[in-house]
Chains A and B, each alone.
Chain A
Amino acid sequence: MTSETVMAANTAMATDLMPALIFMVGGMLVPFFKGRAKSVYMLIIPVVGFLNLIHIPMGDYHQLVFGGFNLVLLHVDRLSLLFGYIFHIIAFITVIYILGFKNDVEYVAGFFYAGAALGAIFAGDLFTFFVFWEALTLGSVMLIWSRKTPKAQAAGFRYLLVHAFGGLVLLAGIVFHYSHTGSLEMSLMTLSGLGSWLMFFGIGINCAWPILHPWLTDAYPEATIGGTVFLSAFTTKTAVYALARLYPGTDLLIWIGVGMAAFPIFYAVIENDLRRVLAYSLINQVGFMVVGIGIGTELAVNGACAHAFNDILFKGLLFMTMGAVMHRTGKINATDLGGLYKSMPWTCLFCIVGAASISAFPLFSGFVSKSMVMSAVAHMSHDQGQGALVFVWLVLLFAAAGVFHHAGIKIPFFAFFGHDAGHRVKEAPLNMLIAMGIAAFLCVFIGTFPKYLYSVLPFQVDYEPYSISHVLAQTELLFFSALAFCLLLLSGIYPAEQRAVNLDADWVYRIGGKKVYNILAGILNPLNTGCEKVVRAVASASAFIFKDAPARIMLFVSVNIWLVFGIRGRYLELKKLRLYNDAMEGTMPIGLGAATAVGFVILMYILT
């Protein structure tokens, strides 16, 4: 690209701001505002960002040449726009939600984090994408640390280590890819070389693939109340966007997604911390998206993107309701909650809306997006006659029932119904209720009128979710899941909620890491002690030998000289004693020292 064309592109769109900068720079200024002005200012940022976004036509803008690379800071197409819309919407809702917390660190980190996510999805090249990808880590870690508890600090540190590693892997992948292809373009890739594999793996860490996922269930429940809402929206969804942009149709993603959809169900059922239940549920839902991207057809990618859009809303809503419960009661464990529907009826209602949406009840948002992925799997299985995809479809069906079990029933049941824990608290603050209300309204609106969501999806949509067979099949699935929950609970089979840490892949560093440490300590510590003993013994012996060596050399030379001069007997003994004491204490005639030194030099000369 010539400098003229770069300048022309920049001049043409000089009036369009980068969505990322509006949030990042705007967020930095939040601490300078006070009182009501601060609230108004914070609300204005996402509104201005959204107005800016809808006025940017599709294309590449803010192009520059940096270090010989052609960078595209702003690439706008249907895929990035869809994620851009929902990121602005959830940022606006979350800002309303956190207005009452008066925590400038959380505010600045939240805007920075949202801005970084926007920067990543609108990046037109891999280098720009990487820069914002790393900024995403910084913002999210600050959100975790801003809770300022020892657990949050430890979880944030672990999060930072994992994501710094993931970032390095991504960077290595980009470098290999560039050296192989000479291109930094954010375009379709295949798993053909080391570079693309490394990038795939690096993105997978942020996407919380199985085994790589413990950072999510570890850190999200430890963040601030508002921080968790932010976190649920951006990191994994940015990774989903990256997969949809770079790796659609990659078969491996189908199996990774199946694993993501299935395994969290078992952990979510036995988990006591309700925000951690939602964290597992988040992985489960991202699994559906990853399967859709792996299938790679237009219907599947549309379904994955639509589900990402909806998941940001209903998962955010569920995290908000649990945050409100935590804000009022100070508790989040199922063992400490229950019966709150009397004290917090609106929060309870919004939680049920979120639960119905994530469970994909007809007329709620999950229904119109999850079914697209399921249908895409069924179509592909039918078209290609692949028996393996039948297994995928059955696992997704199981996962759909499971998510209703743990997120659809467990969350509202243990927080608002179940056993009465005796909390008599106020309803959530008004700003929280408004935020939850907006999210709940959108969940119902999208579920009832899906055409508005379908109109902004990356590909033309030819799909009708409200067919009789689909509605009946889904309702059947959900009601039988509810029956299973009731029977498990009433027959005493349902596992008890316990105040405990449930380990999954974090066993590797929580238990396995300690075992490795103990084994190495058992081998290396005795070796270290032995070496120390040897060194001490040698040093001690050397010190004993050499402690008066100079004095003895001096005596040897002097006594021979004195004998030549005829000094004998008691006087000789006295001189020897005096010289030895002087040499040991360092108090001797300077001439004697000089003579010894000269003698030493002469001796060296003769010997050499």
Chain B
Amino acid sequence: MNTQHDKELMELKHDPVPGYKPVFVVVFTIACLYMAFILFHSPF
């Protein structure tokens, strides 16, 4: 058993990598629009 790392993190943050936030927004928007389009054009 490892005993060298007794210091425990209280929080494991995920710092943003510059440039990815706009990518996320664009992909998320396209995905939502695409899904809405599919749903509105479905037969049910």
Residues on A facing B (Cβ under 8 Å)? 272, 328-330, 333-336, 381, 385, 387, 390, 414, 419, 421-425, 480, 483, 487-494, 496-499
User: A381 CA to B21 CA in the complex, in Å?
Assistant: 38
Establish whether residues A498 and B10, one from each chain, have CB atoms under 8 Å apart when the complex forms: yes
Contact flags B8-40 to A (C-beta < 8 A → 1, else 0): 111111111100110110011001000000000
Contacts of B5 in A (CB 8 A): 336, 421-423
Cβ contact within 8 Å between A496 and B44:
no
Chain A to chain B: the 9 pairs with minimum beta-carbon distance, closest first: A492-B16, A490-B20, A497-B12, A491-B24, A335-B9, A491-B20, A491-B21, A487-B24, A335-B12
CA distance in complex: A333, B9 (Å) = 10
Q: Please tell me if the beta carbons of B20 and A487 are within 8 angstroms of each other in the complex.
A: yes
- A335 and B14 alpha carbons, distance in the complex (Å): 11
Q: Which residues of chain A are within 8 angstroms of B28 by Cβ–Cβ distance? A: 487
Candidate in B5, B14, B27 with the most chain A CB atoms within 10 angstroms: B14
Choose from B2, B13, B20, B44 the contact partner of A329 (Cβ within 8 Å). B2
| Residues of chain B within 8 A of A334, CB atoms compared | 12
Q: Bound state CA distance, A493 and B21, in angstroms?
A: 8
Docked complex Cα distance between A330 and B5 (Å): 11
B-side interface residues, number (CB < 8 Å): 22
A264 to B28, CA, bound (A): 23
Whether the pair B21, A492 counts as a contact (CB closer than 8 A) is: yes
For A329, the chain B residues whose CB sits under 8 A away are: 1-2
Q: Chain A residue with minimal CB distance to B15?
A: A492
Residue of B4, B9, B11, B23 touching A487 (CB-CB under 8 A): B23
What is the count of residue pairs linking A and B with beta-carbon distances less than 8 angstroms? 76
Q: How far is the CA of A480 from the CA of B32 in the complex (A)?
A: 13
Q: Which residue of A lies closest to B17 (CB)?
A: A490
Q: Given the complex, which residues of A lie within 8 Å of B4, measured CB to CB?
A: 422, 424
Q: List 19 A-B contacts (CB under 8 A).
A: A272-B12, A329-B2, A335-B9, A335-B10, A336-B5, A381-B44, A385-B44, A421-B5, A422-B2, A424-B4, A425-B1, A487-B27, A488-B24, A490-B20, A491-B16, A491-B24, A492-B21, A496-B11, A498-B12
SS class of chain A's interface: helix, strand, loop or mixed? mixed
**A381-B44, A490-B17, A491-B24 known; A499+B1 contact, CB < 8 A:** no
Among A335, A480, A490, A497, the one with the most B-chain Cβ atoms within 10 Å of its Cβ is A490
**A494 CB, min distance to chain B CBs, angstroms:** 5
CB distance from A23 to the nearest CB of B (A): 32
- Docked CA distance A422–B8 (Å): 12
Are A336's CB and B1's CB within 8 A? Answer: no
List, in ascending order, chain A residues with CB within 8 A of B9's CB.
335-336, 499
Q: How far is the CA of A342 from the CA of B8 in the complex (A)?
A: 21
User: Of B1, B10, B27, which is within 8 A of A483 by CB?
Assistant: B27
- Least CB distance, B20 to chain A, in whole angstroms: 4
User: How distant is the Cα of A189 from the Cα of B16 in the complex, in angstroms?
Assistant: 54
Whether B2 and A424, one on each chain, are in contact in the complex, defined by CB atoms closer than 8 angstroms, is yes
New A-B contacts (10) at CB < 8 Å, excluding given A487-B28, A493-B16? A329-B2, A335-B8, A390-B44, A414-B12, A422-B2, A487-B23, A490-B16, A490-B17, A490-B20, A494-B14
When the two chains form their complex, are residues B8 and A336 in contact, meaning their CB atoms are under 8 A apart? Answer: yes
| B2, B15, B21, B27: the one within 8 Å of A423 (CB) | B2
Complex formed: what's the CA distance from A329 to B8 in Å?
13
Q: Which residues of A contact B12 (CB under 8 A)?
A: 272, 334-335, 414, 419, 496-498
CA distance in complex: A496, B17 (Å) = 15
Q: How far is the CB of A26 from chain B (nearest CB, A)?
A: 33
A249 CB → nearest B CB, Å: 22
Q: Give the residue name and chain of the B residue nearest to A487 (CB).
A: B24
Distance between B26 CB and nearest chain A CB, rounded to angstroms: 10
Contacts of A336 on B, CB cut-off 8 Å?
A: 5, 8-9
Q: How far is the CA of A498 from the CA of B11 in the complex (A)?
A: 4
Q: Which residues of B contact A498 (CB under 8 A)?
A: 10-12
Instruction: List B contacts of A330 (CB < 8 A).
Output: 1-2
- The distance in angstroms between the C-alpha atoms of A490 and B23, with both chains bound, is 10
Give complex CA distance A45, B2 in Å: 35
* Cα A494 to Cα B11 with chains together (Å): 13
